Chain A
Amino acid sequence: MAKSKALLLVAGLLLACLLSLAAGPAGFSPEVILNLRLPRLLAALTVGAGLGLAGALFQGVLKNPLSDPYILGTSAGATAAAVFCFLAGIERSSPLFFAAVFAGAFGATFLSYWLARLAGRLSDASLVLAGVAVSAFLSALVMLTLSAARERAFSLFYFVLGGLYAAEPAVLLFSVAIIAAALLFSAARWRALDAMALGEEKAYHLGASPERERIVFFVLACAATSAAVAVGGTIGFVGLMTPHIMRLLAGPSARVLIPASAAGGAALLAAADAAGRLVFPPAEVPAGVIMALAGAPFFMWLLWKSSRGRN
């Protein structure tokens, strides 16, 4: 990436952080900034980085620009697992919670992938369809559970909706560690992701084992997604939009795209969270809703673009 573009990304990230620290109906007192907004900014940065990273990994390893943790059902799987953990009384900061959320994310992703493969050749459309089916089913399960568990439904409802709140330090620390590890590991293995972006057959002939790379990057992307969901619930479209924006800025090679998507996702979600506090004060719009408002039209534009590219 050219130096000027790297600077642009850093400036965007800083701007999003400043906006997030300043925005809100409670004014500018140091206590509000330090005790309310800073922890929340840290949560937004962590979740955004995890989702941006996961999006870049999924889009590369599947050679599919329409994929991200939200569309593939990864987030829905993680959310469903998290809700069941809450109801089962498993501590949010315990390793068991993170393991369960990861298992949910990985299981849902592989189910989508397997369903898409059933149709024969894996195509962009079959993967999106399978992801939608898996997501819808898991979301229905979550809603069913919430309806049954009335007394705790309200706080869980906000979790499912994708609202960012100051996370417990232990949860945040755990998530940061997982996302940082996934980022370092995938950034070191960037060339395998570029080979996969040329298609599995080409990747094989360049010397990569497609089956192994698929598992490796699914595990990394699911780990990043589940760490993000553990802090922020279901937030869509960060993973979809960020890599596309970063490709315009940094080019398609995973060498730069992986770290850029993590930084870009952090900036995007911090800005979305700040925007959610600014649109209807004193009410707050959850960051997940803001992202869907911006992301869904973006997804439609991508669909239109990819259909045009095929003809």
Chain B
Amino acid sequence: MPALKVSGLTYSYGPAPLIRDVSFELRSGDFMCVLGPNGSGKSTLLKLLTGFLKPQGGHARLGGQDTAGLPPRRLAALAAYVPSETVTPYDFTVKETVLLGRTARAGFWRGYDAADEAAALKAMEETGMTGFADRAVNSLSTGERQLAFIAQALAQEAKVLLLDEPTSHLDLRYKAAVMNLLAGLAGRGLAVAAVLHEPALARLGCNKALLLERGGGYYCGAAADALVRENLARLYGLPASSPLLP
């Protein structure tokens, strides 16, 4: 059974279609990049997959269960989501932030137990954030903060990991580090999907690609087939000779 199965997913904010009849599968070990121009519905798609937005047509199934009927706590145990913007006015430490990833597992009426602590420590280790445990998240650099919120998502121990622009605002070193980390997570059995803005980054470990066009068209396939120059030139409306394309 695929970790995530999307069939006929449809959504729009107004009369113009944004996501139209999109179908694809994500299996354990897959690392899929979601590419497309601004306004092609990349972020909206991720929110449909987590059930935050309700699809106007079609289904998203996580581990075989339709997201439409599931309460947030069940959904959070099936899929973890890292938003593109992670700002809070309060100075939570990295460890407090990562532990909050255990919300769905722990519920609201008990404190954290040993399993929660262990999961948080493991997530911080995997992301290289162990040394930052007691630092305030707001005092970290953009790249470190991104890693802290990936650690929070890992502490959720969901099989599916969805990330909205995890490499935006990062320098090249952190972009590579995040892609490397995500590829490694797919390697140990997670199903990972990340919205990216630079097609070149997808070469760092993605085996699948979903290309979303403005107006509802899409293409999903193996990264090697999808990420060819002609496809990307058409997707972004650039000449095939553009030096921006990989």
Contacts and interface: CB of A to CB of B under 8 A. Distances in A.
B90 A207 contact: no
Interface in A178-200: 188-189, 191-192, 194-195, 197-199
B165 interface: no
Interface string A199-240: 101101111110000000000000000000000000000000
Given A63-B88, A205-B83, A251-B91, A191 B108 contact: yes
Given A188-B109, A195-B100, A253-B96, A207 B89 contact: no
Nearest to B85: A199
Contact of B91 (A63, A201, A247, A255): A247
Most buried by B among A191, A247, A309: A191
Contacts of A195: 100, 103
B93 interface: yes
A189 B104 CA distance: 13
Contact of A65 (B75, B89, B101): B89
A251 B80 CA distance: 26
A12 interface: no
Main secondary structure of the interface of A (DSSP, over half): helix
Interface residues of A, number: 27
Interface of B: 50, 52, 71-73, 75-77, 80-81, 83, 86-93, 96-97, 100-101, 103-104, 106, 108-109, 111, 152, 156
A207 B72 contact: yes
B52 A204 contact: yes
Contacts of A192: 103, 108
B88 A197 contact: yes
A107 interface: no
B83 A201 contact: yes
Contact of A201 (B52, B73, B80, B156): B52
Contacts of A202: 83, 86
Given A191-B106, A197-B92, A208-B103, 12 more contacts: A63-B89, A189-B108, A192-B103, A194-B96, A202-B86, A204-B50, A205-B50, A206-B101, A208-B73, A209-B71, A251-B92, A252-B92
